[in-house]
């Protein structure tokens, strides 16, 4: 794939970039290694000051970088601005909390005595150079939620971003430089995916984090495993959205629309499979379909647009294949299911779509739908709802709508996912750990769990 900005609303190639030469990559690796040798000894106070400055700059830049993101990958510009501001908020959260999260831990006096020590403690030390392989769908957020904790822990970062968001990738390197971080603390590598293996195998790279597809995750995990290097993976998701009779059905249906089409439907944590109890199925279906039909599809730079284009022509074709396969196998399209007529001659748009009568034999039941397409299931009780919810190779997050505490306890116990969100849609917050189960990956980002992923958890024992 060429490294280029291609406007998904028009198909026009706006800017292209040459991949870094082997010599340039070596220079960046050497700089990262040298920088870590000194940056790892910096104080939390100094790191916090720099990260706060980065947050201030990003907040000021938010209108401009939002337009860049929208032009590169198609998200509505209002959502792009919100993404930038969320990144600034997360930077500030880690700037304020990292020292406490990574404070030395002390066993009880009795445990110290039993170990034969005069004193003992656990200290969190940075690992080193961390390679981040990041996707295009949240081109700022996916990077910042890694970079903010990693930099506060004393690590340095190398970013291999998706090839269709090069301007955003370069902006991130410039942002941290302008904030005053030492040169080499955070560098962008404009390289193709084929160059990742050599960098990951380099002895100067200590660990890697990847957000992306399952095949990409398998590849990075295999290489890192061969080199015995730590990895954190956040892969695909096919999140269930369960609605029970005791729920506020009108609110559940309204929220469901946002939960499905956020980021033009191109989100791993977007609700994708809507599993509704028979007693409220028709009420939910009618409200949900009406909400999806009412969405405004159009130019993502228009403030009134709800749903913009998919990020690429291939992405739209992949989505169409899933829908066509389902229809050919007997599924019913309740709304959408085609390219909008108003954009027949430009861009990679697709109508917000709801599909019912889905069966396990259909590809759409097993595969992730990365676009504004929802599947709708009718179930008889909570047992069947949980069975359908868990009938996926993924396990990123899950949603339950109910007014019954017994339903909540049961769903939390049995949901095979990294997150359970009750009476609300899945979202991420810097204070809450984020990650999945099954083929959605392993490890956690955000919160204290995320900052400790790339630390050497060191036992310190001092004899009497």
The tokens for 112 are 């110290």
β-pair type (12-17, 3-7) = antiparallel
In terms of C-beta density within 10 A (0-12 exposed, 13-18 middle, 19 or more buried), how is residue 242 classed? buried
Query: What are the Cα distances from residue 228, in Å, to 207, 220, 316?
Result: 9, 12, 37
Phi, psi of 7 (to 5 degrees): -65, 115
The per-residue b/e assignment along 72-85, b for 16 or more CB within 10 angstroms, e otherwise, is bbbbbbbbbbebbb
Phi, psi of 267 (to 5 degrees): -140, 135
Q: Is 82 left (phi over 0), alpha (psi -120 to 50) or beta?
A: alpha
In order, the DSSP letters of 66-126 are HHHHHHHH---HHHHHHHHHHHHHHHHHHHHHHHHHT--B---HHHHHHTTEEEEEEEEEE
In terms of C-beta density within 10 A (0-12 exposed, 13-18 middle, 19 or more buried), how is residue 41 classed? exposed
The tokens for 176 are 């941290």
Long-range contacts, 193-198 (Cβ 8 Å, 24+) = 193/1, 193/160, 193/163, 195/19, 195/25, 195/160, 196/131, 196/133, 196/160, 196/220, 196/223, 197/223
The tokens for 87 are 């990144």
The tokens for 164 are 């269709």
E strand or H helix that includes residue 334: strand 332-335
Of 248, 244, 226, the C-alpha closest to 410 is 244
3-class DSSP assignment, residue 352 = coil
- Which residues are marked as active site? 234, 268
Report how far residue 397's alpha carbon sits from residue 417's, in angstroms, rounded to the nearest whole number: 5
H-assigned helices in 179-213: 196-201
Report how far residue 130's alpha carbon sits from residue 363's, in angstroms, rounded to the nearest whole number: 36
């Amino acid at each position: 794939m060429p490294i280029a900005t291609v406007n998904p609303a028009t198909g026009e190639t706006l800017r292209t970039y040459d991949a870094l030469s082997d010599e340039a990559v070596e220079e960046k690796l050497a700089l990262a290694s040298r920088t870590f040798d000194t940056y790892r000894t910096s104080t939390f106070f100094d790191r916090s000051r720099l990260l706060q400055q980065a947050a201030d700059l990003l907040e000021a830049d938010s209108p401009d970088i939002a337009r860049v993101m929208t032009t590169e990958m198609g998200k509505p510009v209002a959502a792009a601005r919100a993404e930038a501001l969320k990144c600034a908020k997360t930077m500030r959260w880690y700037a304020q909390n990292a020292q406490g999260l990574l404070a030395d831990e002390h066993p009880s006096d009795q445990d110290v005595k039993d170990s034969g020590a005069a004193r003992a403690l656990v200290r969190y030390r940075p690992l080193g150079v961390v390679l981040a392989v990041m996707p295009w769908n949240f081109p700022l957020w996916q990077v910042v939620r890694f970079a903010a904790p990693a930099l506060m822990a004393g690590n340095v970062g190398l970013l291999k971003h998706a090839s269709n968001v090069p301007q955003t990738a370069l902006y991130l390197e410039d942002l941290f430089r302008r904030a005053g971080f030492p040169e080499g603390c955070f560098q962008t590598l404009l390289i193709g995916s084929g160059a990742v293996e050599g960098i990951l195998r380099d002895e100067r790279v200590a660990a890697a984090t990847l957000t992306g597809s399952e095949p990409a995750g398998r590849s990075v995990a295999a290489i890192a495993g061969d080199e015995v290097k730590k990895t954190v993976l956040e892969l695909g998701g096919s999140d269930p959205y369960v609605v029970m009779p005791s729920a506020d059905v009108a609110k559940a249906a309204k929220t469901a629309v946002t939960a499905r089409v956020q980021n033009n439907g191109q989100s791993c944590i977007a609700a994708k499979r809507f599993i509704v109890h028979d007693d409220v199925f028709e009420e939910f279906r009618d409200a949900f379909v009406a909400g999806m039909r009412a969405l405004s599809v159009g130019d993502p730079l228009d403030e009134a647009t709800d749903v913009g284009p998919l990020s690429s022509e291939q992405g739209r074709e992949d989505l169409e294949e899933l829908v066509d396969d389902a229809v050919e196998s007997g599924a019913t399209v309740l709304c959408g299911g085609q390219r909008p007529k108003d954009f027949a001659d430009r861009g990679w748009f697709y109508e917000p779509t709801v599909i019912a009568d889905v069966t396990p034999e259909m590809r759409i039941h097993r595969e992730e739908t990365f676009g504004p397409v929802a599947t709708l299931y009718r179930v008889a009780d909570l047992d069947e709802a949980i069975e359908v919810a868990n009938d996926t190779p993924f396990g990123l997050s899950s949603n339950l709508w109910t007014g019954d505490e017994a339903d909540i306890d049961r769903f939390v116990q049995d949901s095979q996912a990294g997150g359970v969100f009750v009476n609300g849609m899945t979202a991420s917050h810097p204070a809450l750990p984020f990650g999945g189960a099954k083929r959605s990956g392993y490890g956690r980002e955000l919160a204290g769990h995320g900052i400790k992923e790339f630390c050497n958890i060191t036992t310190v024992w001092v004899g009497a």
